[in-house]
A = this chain, B = another copy of it.
Amino acid sequence: MGRLYIGLVHYPVKGRYGETIATALTGLDIHDIARSAKTFGVHRFYVITPLRSQQEIAQRIVRYWLDQKGVDPTHRAEALETVEVVESLEESLERLEREAGQKPLLVGTSARVYPERPQISYRELRRRVEEAPDSVYILFGTGWGLADEVIRRVDFMLPPIRGVGEYNHLSVRAAAAIILDRLRGRCEGDDEAR
């Protein structure tokens, strides 16, 4: 039975000029994306950073809130329990495969189209998540997006989120929330998915 996993990549990602960089952790990314992950039934949320000091900050945030379990009225512990801090995409894949007993379908996200890479529609990925023959692992890039070496590695890319007009500079927190809703969201009182 497949499960849904997500990863927030701090390295390797693109910098402003397309160069490969490691970005710094944003504390609120962990909180917000963990809450969205928990809401939409994500099994595990990997926070990926190679920098030891950054791993420690992330661990400290998670531990602090896990200690507040049952006391904190905002229920952050339940969300942060999904977080695992790892040093590389490789390490997250190893842990995921060990846990799931299978290779996941690896899916990338971007604000731009990569015409040379296979694309999967939200509808089709939703179906695969629901029927769950595979585990699905969705990657989100910080900075200016996932580095090309990651894009080359994924099985599929999801199409960019478009709104109205040309502006598409969503925060990674907003993009992750929207994508999880498109794959798993429902409305109270609706029988239908949307």
Contact = CB atoms under 8 A, between A and B. Distances in A.
A68 interface: no
Contact of A40 (B122, B163, B173, B186): B163
A71 interface: no
Interface stretch (A73-81, A84-92, A100-108): A73-81
A23 interface: no
Interface in A155-189: 159-165, 167-171, 173-178, 180-182, 184-189
A75 B180 CA distance: 25
B189 A159 contact: yes
Copies of this chain per assembly: 2
A41 interface: yes
Interface of A: 16, 28, 31-32, 35-36, 38-41, 73-76, 78-79, 113, 119, 121-123, 159-165, 167-171, 173-178, 180-182, 184-190, 194
A167 B73 contact: no
A173 B174 CA distance: 7
Nearest to A180: B163
A38 B169 CA distance: 9
A35 B188 contact: no
Contacts of A182: 181, 185, 194
A187 B165 contact: no
Nearest to A32: B171
Given A76-B169, A170-B177, 6 more contacts: A31-B171, A32-B173, A39-B161, A161-B187, A164-B184, A174-B177
